[in-house]
Chain A
Amino acid sequence: MSGKTLYDKLWEDHVVFTEDDGSSLIYIDRHLVHEVTSPQAFESLRLAGRKPWRQSRNLAVADHNVPTVDRDKGIADPVSRLQVETLDNNCAEFGITEFAMTDARQGIVHVIGPEQGATLPGMTVVCGDSHTSTHGAFGALAFGIGTSEVEHVLATQCLTQKKAKNLLIKVNGHSGAGVSAKDIVLAIIGKIGTAGGNGYTIEFAGTAIRALSMEGRMTVCNMAIEAGARAGLIAVDEVTIDYCRNRPYAPKGEHQFMAERLWQKLHSDDDAVFDKVMDLDAASIKPQVTWGTSPELVVPIDKKIPDPALEPDAVKRQGMRRALEYMDLKAGQAIIDITLDKVFIGSCTNSRIEDLRAAAAVAKGKKLADNIKLALVVPGSGLVKRQAEAEGLDKIFMAAGFEWREPGCSMCLAMNADRLEEGERCASTSNRNFEGRQGYGGRTHLVSPAMAAAAAIAGHFVDISSVLEGRQS
């Protein structure tokens, strides 16, 4: 009998029972809750007279609608305010722990889960948010769910699911200077496409993945959903276990010893069989920049925008033409010639301490280019913000002309006041470049934190790898 994949192990460990048609009721260890996808779930729960199955497994925080300035003044937009107040009221009524907007631990749900040790290896983690795939970096089975499923988890601590297929993506070798986790995952999406992972759980492996910090691993798993996979996974190693130690919700004492022994087994067996395997050479990956309105429309920084006329598939060709029109770009244009209006450093993809350090290293001692109207740095949580300030990163950013803000989702999806105006072009460390995502008519280019900071300084995209290599030589 062949061995098991990490996904097989996590799945089997959580099956309550399986129906004849192969769908299973699986147990959920951690449910993260935010204000946008939960109000209707709580309302239905209330109408049906149901109670949460296990209150303690839920952790809530408002992140999408929160302002990133003048937090003590509350939320100006009455519709946003009502949604956040609704979460506060629901959590109070149903006895669920919530980090309020003014709590130092408040932040983006996918940043605070791991930060608090609320996400741990071997868990099933769900949230009404597609970027829940982030938590797979811990060897946890984590995926986004809809509001009906949020209600289902609240009421039963379980979900009805069908097992996905196994996809292994191995990133071998070592990545070059200036190439981050973001570039690795964008290169993967460029290769397999935004539907490439549909129906699969992706396990990311290989030396280049193992070499990443937990922050980097979270960036990679975060964007598994952009490759179409609900869940991304990375096997547990010492890096994972070290990160989890002493976190507020992590096991302590005897439980810690027991947990760590179990967590060490959370990797695919050597003889595990995957439905599909893909190899990528890390050394071949350059810093990446998206040029279109889907994350798969991405090229290395030193390349030009591809010509739709050369795309053989008619549906793809049409998509590329639409994207060029929306983005106001032309085939054959060099990426480094694209000038920008705004820069956004933040989001559940790239707002952790390591991301801020990478951006600050580039911005140190420099000034924003004159054409940059606004450059935002939005830390992923209050604790990330505090850490960054202790390291003096806030001063580096502000001296260069960046704005240093309060934590939240901010301009990743512009549900609060931070947004692009029509026609504005942004270098963004977020995860989606869809039409209107960062504001009506706004144009988004997805990049790494160092690439975003470099673009803010130059006013256009620059090849950070050549800058860094020049510095080393």
Chain B
Amino acid sequence: MAVFILKRLAQVIPVILGVTLVVFLIMQMVPGDSAVILAGEGASEQTIEDLRESLGLNKPIYVQYFDYIKGVVQGDFGNSLKNGKPVLEEISTRLPITFELAMYSIAITIILGLIAGIVSAIRPYSWLDMSFMVIALLGISLPSFWLGILLMYTFAINLGWLPVAGWESPMHIILPAITLGAGGAAIVARMTRSSMLEVVNQDFIRTAKAKGLKGYVIIFKHALRNAMIPVITVVGLQFGSLLGGTVLVESVFAVNGLGRMIVDAIRTRDLPVVQGGVLVASLIFVFVNLIVDILYRVFNKRIDLN
């Protein structure tokens, strides 16, 4: 197991380097000269030249990349072009909010998804199963930003039960978390159902029945444990779309998280902030995937055979 974790860690390093390279290169694609933008309108030729010098923009591109990596490792993501403050500072105030939102959403994804999936699998083709699967299909088809607006209109504006937007009280968390978690819940429900139905037809379930085990023991002890193996991977992948989804959902509900920071920064062309935000979100995702892989390994020891 320890060997496996070390091996996976070794595999993660090139991916992280790749991610930093891609982020770095994308920012190089920006038309125009960052020094000119940074210096602001009407700056003198000398100011621009000095800026270029101090930012290292006249060095060869690979040196710039190494400088960038060096900075990132030391927690230096550069400074915002808008207010000159370090990007890391901005990220560290925004990240906890997004983290909280993501945790509630993933909880909704897992709990709702598992319950619906299991209930559907226990009674396949029943009306309950059919309605859950129709809802799940709608869940993966509704754009999160529209679902957010619908929920906001219904529960905040029309019924007035919940606050419209912002991030001040636990009440504020409910709608964004549901909006963000719904799509994932739908996917987890579909996956759990099909995985359970597949497992239920396996030989070892027949063995469990032949032993005279009770129905719920067969489902929760013998079937679910096996059915969970593919579901774990799906939940891991879902975490990625969820992180990406914060961009939309935080914008809908005016939550000052990392996602909204990135969108605002793109609008104002504050590239170091975009760069830092995208990089941090991606690194989190890589890390989550690593954990999911290890969990998958713990649950599914059979891959030792291959």
- Tell me, yes or no, whether A binds B: no
Chain A residues within CB distance 8 Å of chain B: none
Residues in chain B within 8 A of chain A (CB atoms): none
